[in-house]
Amino acid sequence: MLNGTLARLRKDTRLGAIAVRMALAATLLLGTIPTRSQAADQRNFWFLNNTGSQVDRIYVSPHESGIWGSDVLGEAALPDGIGTVISFNSQIRSSCYYDFKLIFHNGSSQVYAQGRNLCAVHAVQFNYSTSEAF
């Protein structure tokens, strides 16, 4: 039901963005996303798939590295309109700036290489070719 509601709201970009922000705010208030004071690592963030496609793999890399890490979804897949928490191992330190590579169910991919500062945000919404931080 929630997936269908989000899909309808996304048809109007402005309403979709408002709905996403409201959903994230509600989730934070309910405590299901760790806040910076609760988080094991300040880079942990909420990943929202707003690409229009199912994401089968997510690769994360420090911006300065240029080498993709492991698929953080593992065996899972992330349908369009659904989010998940991406957590970092606090024992492995690197910068706060990260790039992302998404592999979609149809085999195509999209790279987001702007160096998103994960230490300064709680959530990142991934659209097909852009991303927005909250």
pLDDT beyond 90 at 90: no
CATH topology of domain 34-133: Immunoglobulin-like (2.60.40)
pLDDT beyond 60 at 35: no
**pLDDT class of 61 with cuts at 50, 70, 90:** very high
Check residue 40 and give its pLDDT: 61
| Extents of the domains making up the chain | 34-133
Cβ-count burial 85-102 (b if 16+ within 10 Å, e if not): ebebeeeeeeeebbbbbb
Q: Which of 67, 60, 68, 63 is nearest to 87 (CA)?
A: 60
Instruction: Determine whether 72 is exposed, middle or buried from the number of CB atoms within 10 Å of its CB (0-12, 13-18, 19+).
Output: middle
- Name the pTM for this structure: 0.71
Alpha helices in the chain (DSSP H): 2-10, 13-30
